[in-house]
Structures are given as structure tokens and as C-alpha cells.
Chain A
Amino acid sequence: MSGPDEKTRTAAPSALSRDDVVHVARLARLNLTDEEVELFTAQLRTVLDHAADVASLDLTHLAPSSHPIPLDNVLRPDEPRPSLDREEVLAVAPDVEDHRFRVPRIGAEAP
């Protein structure tokens, strides 16, 4: 199911835990050694503590800005442009099989 009802995305920022770091690393497809988990937990806490000043401001009256200079309705005509040369693209691919990108077996279905 897609759409905003999927999850609630509000919570008071709590101190970043070691488990948060491990969870986030998995989300980001990164492997961390125990030492790295320790180090990143400490370093990310420092940054988030510094961000606490911002997190605690009451800005409910302001709309978030996702663009510095907002534009509307930037569209292109439905006209074809030349595609890339397939061989040039596949030439730099890590692994190729009959004109397609080859990857190891996929462990899970698409979400």
C-alpha cells in the first residue's frame, strides 16, 4: 500500500542508540565493524546534539522549503531524444549477460 497512511513519521528525537546505528547501516546497505558502530554512534550523537537547538524550535507556523527557489510546472514535450549506445553503456558495467546487466541471485521479492 503506498500513500501517507503507511506510517506515522513523528516522534521526539531521542538519543541515538547503538541499535539505531546498526539498523540505519542495514537500511543504507553498509557493513560496520563493532569499532565503527561505536565510533559512528558517538560522532552522529555529537552532530544530532548540535542539531537539538533546531529540533527544539517551535516552527509549526512555517512551511518546510524543499527548494531554495520554487518553480512550478516545468515540463518537456513528449518527443523522443536519442538513447545511449547500448554497447558503450554495457562496456563499463561490472557484469553483463546477453545485453543485460547481470546480478547475483535476488534474495527477496521487491517490497
Chain B
Amino acid sequence: MTDWETVIGLEVHTELATVTKLFCGCRNAFGDEPNVNICPVCLGLPGALPVLNEQAVELAMRIGAALHCEIRPSEFARKNYFYPDQAKDYQISQYDLPLNADGWLELPDGFRVGVTRAHMEEDTGKLTHIGASGRINAALHALVDYNRSSVPLVEIVSEPDMRSSAQARAYVSELRGMLIATGASDGRMEEGSMRVDANVSVRPVGTTEFGTRCEIKNLNSLRSLQRAIDYEVGRQIALLESGGVVDQETRHWNEAAGRTETMRSKEEANDYRYFPEPDLVRLAPDEAWQARVRAALGPMPAGRRAALAAALGGAPSAAEVDQVNAVVDLGLDGLVAAASEAGVPTALALARAANEVAAQADAGLRLDAGSFASLLALEAGGQLSATQSKTVLSAILERGGGDPAALAKEMGFEALASDTLATAVDGVIAANAEEWTRFVEGDEGEQKKLMGFFTGKVMQATSGKANGKDVAAELRRRRG
């Protein structure tokens, strides 16, 4: 009974966040009315010619730099095949001379996935299949919207280095964080600005030869990526163990049915007849440009995670590691850093960012680091209880700002003067003399129980304004 090893390579297409398209001045916009962003170039009209968008090259170079790629003199080529979403019936892409090659991406667990190439190409138009279920096979006819035609893409091709669907998922989410960090893309998978194809094969553990791979298309969420790979691995293993063979083919992920299906694509369509695009010239960014791009590159998620972990001091707990990953994924690590620089314990800032702020991530990205820091300073200094601090925090997030101290006051959370606390404690002891005696003389368990009882009473007496820690301290002092 063989054990099987999964081998995964990923091709990620990402749309670049430019103002205009790759080869023309039409807007690169999502969700506009159909066919409003079209011109002779992106509509493939006779006589029209492409001219390369400088910002698209800049963003493609940022991706290459962030992936530790070599940025090389490159050439555009025509990939020839007929399809109605393709205005010229060829795609302008990069073939044997890609802009970025030979890089790698490090996953949170330190595993490095090789990146073969990250090349520039143009997107196609959008097809809508009409009739029946809107699925291609049953459709009666189709409609084409060329707004997306010639939108700039970078295709990032990984080495077949990944060994599990979880690792593939980690790669894509790490890549997504990197793309957002570089400003190259908004990383919105649900809007199709990031699309993943997975090359999956299996082989007996211990063997080095690759099995026959299948390419799975239409993976537009991390969840479907992982599900599709798990399904496909199971399918291939079952096939092989029952004495069958895997055919090299392209398969389509059917989200609803939860399975991969053979795609009915034309065999001759795979003779793409690539040749150098005569309407475009060589693209060879000079050293100066490359240096500018590398210099302008901000810290990547891996570095930001490391920085946060370091700020925590000592080895982070498993829970803290999760919090660090979450915070960096959401781009909230800036808040934490600002707070801990302001003297707030990093663990506290991290916890609040990973929970309360993360719960309203979009508002969190707009949250002013200064007020976040000063709020947590109040909590750390005991002027606000944890509960009160959280309440104020959510209020700030909902209102989209505000001064923490003022808000706390407005909510009646101003800190309790110590003599008020003393009076309250006197009152509670007087009212519960018998329990107090047991608290003072009782064994450890008894004391633990009653500590909770008295704290509760004092809280009642101060209608929640007292700080839990201070109450406990006062009670211990009285007990002597």
C-alpha cells in the first residue's frame, strides 16, 4: 500500500492597479457599464497599435523585486488562439524573455517556494453565457464586454515546490499580502483581480520523478483553491491505486458540485504559434530604474511579522503567533507598532488589534494610530478597565475616530479616585462581616473564592467604575 506525495505548482494572475490599460489610455476600472472603456487598441480594430504603459512596468518590477527575481531585458510575444473574449484573437504576453525570473517567496513557516517567472501580459474581455444555467455547456449564446480587454496582468509562475493544499493556500495568501504591500494590486480575489491555476500531481513517497499533472482552473478563493486541490489529489490517488493512469489535462473546479471536471478545450488551440510582437519594442529597464524600484519597496509581510514578534520580546506563544499573522494579513501591524513605541505593552496592542480592531478591519485601516495608542495607554495605566477600553475602542472604530479620554468620560468611564475606592471597600466589609472573617482566616481555596465575591461587591458598589486590579490590591492590603 503506497504512500503518496502531492506536488503542486501555482500560476497566479494578478491585475495591476494602474489608472489605464496595458496598451491604451482606456480606464482600468472594475464594475463599469459594459463596453464603455474601449478604444481601437483594446477592441482590436484594424490599424490600431499598442503602446506600453510605464506604470504597469513599474508595478511589474515591484512584484519582481519583492519576489527576489532577476529583472531582465524582456520581449513581448503574441500568443495566437481564437476566442471571442480576445479582441485581436491573440494575446500579447511574454514568452521566452519574461521581465522577472528566478525568484522565491518565503511562507510564514519559513518554507521557500521558488518562483520561475513573473511576466507581463494583457487580460481578456468578460464573457457572459446566456441561457440555461449560464454555464458554458448549456448556454444558448454569449455576450462580450471588452472593458477588461488589455487590462494589465502579471502572471506569477511558481516552481512545483508545494507539497500540500495547506501550503498552496499559505503561498497564495502570502503572495496576496505581498501584492498589497507593493501597491501592485488590490488582491481582491472575489473581484477577479487575483486568479489562481493549480498544477497538481502525485507520486509515491520517496520517488523523485514527477507524476502526470492536471491544471485546475477557476480557483477564485483560498477556500476553493484548497478544496479543489484536496479533491484532485484524492481523484488522482484513487485512479492510480485502481491501476488507472492520470491524463495530462486542464480541469475546471466546479464549486457547487465540489469536484474538478475535464474542460472541453480544443486540442489544436494548444499550438499557440508564439512569435515576437512586431508592434512593440524590447523592454529593458535600466539599472537606475531597477534601483529606484528596489529602494522604494516597503517592508514585506515576512519582515513585518518578524518585527512584531521581536517587539513582543521572548518566544511568542502559539496564540500570539496567530495574532501576529492575522494583524499583518490585515495590514494592522502599523497600529501595533505605533502603540508599543508609545510605551503600551506590545502584547496588549497586539491582542486588541487582532481582536477588536480586526473585527472591523476596514474601519481599522482608517483608525488613527495616535488615538489607538493613547486609548491603550489609559488601559495599561489602569485608568480604564479592559472592558471599558474595548467599549471605547469599538466606539472609535464605529465613529471613525475620536479622542479616547473624551469618549471614556462621555461614557462615564472616568477612573475612580483611590479614596472613593477605599470608602466603597469599607462599606462592603461592614455589610459582609462574616464573609470577611472567612476571607481573612480561611484556607487558600476559601480566599480565592471570596476574593471573587468581594471584588464583585465592590464593583457593584462603584457601579463598574472601579478597576479590577486596584480592587484586588486594596482587598489584599486590608486582609494583611
Q: Are B278 and A75 neighbours in the complex by a CB distance under 8 Å? A: no
Does B96 sit within 8 A of A, measured CB to CB? yes
B183 to chain A minimum Cβ distance, whole angstroms, is 13
Q: Are B266 and A108 neighbours in the complex by a CB distance under 8 Å? A: yes
Q: From DSSP, what is the main secondary structure of chain A's interface residues? A: loop
B72 to chain A minimum Cβ distance, whole angstroms, is 13
Q: Are A97 and B143 neighbours in the complex by a CB distance under 8 Å? A: yes
Count of interface residues, chain B, beta-carbon cutoff 8 Å: 79
A11 contacts across to B, CB distance below 8 A: none
A105 contacts across to B, CB distance below 8 A: 129, 131, 136, 139-142
Binary CB contact string for chain B from 328 to 356 against chain A (1 if under 8 A, 0 otherwise): 00000000000000000000000000000
Q: Are B282 and A70 neighbours in the complex by a CB distance under 8 Å? A: yes
Interface residues on A, range: 35 or more
A66-B276, A80-B27, A105-B141 as given contacts; A111 in contact with B265, CB under 8 Å: yes
Q: Are B36 and A72 neighbours in the complex by a CB distance under 8 Å? A: no
Q: How far is the CA of A47 from the CA of B269 in the complex (A)?
A: 26
Q: Are B19 and A110 neighbours in the complex by a CB distance under 8 Å? A: no
Q: Are A2 and B11 neighbours in the complex by a CB distance under 8 Å? A: yes
Q: Are B36 and A83 neighbours in the complex by a CB distance under 8 Å? A: yes
**For window 13-32 of chain A, which residues contact chain B by CB distance below 8 Å?**
23, 26-27, 29
A108 contacts across to B, CB distance below 8 A: 263-266, 269
Q: List 22 A-B contacts (CB under 8 A).
A: A2-B79, A3-B117, A4-B96, A66-B75, A73-B283, A74-B281, A75-B52, A75-B57, A78-B55, A80-B27, A82-B25, A84-B39, A86-B35, A99-B33, A100-B128, A100-B145, A103-B142, A103-B144, A105-B129, A105-B140, A106-B83, A111-B265
Interface set of A (CB-CB < 8 Å, partner B): 1-4, 6-7, 23, 26-27, 29, 66-67, 70-84, 86, 89-90, 97-111
Contacts beyond the supplied A66-B278, A71-B282, A110-B265: 17 A-B pairs with Cβ under 8 Å: A2-B119, A3-B98, A3-B157, A7-B271, A27-B268, A27-B271, A73-B282, A75-B51, A76-B52, A80-B19, A86-B33, A101-B146, A104-B142, A106-B139, A108-B269, A111-B269, A111-B270
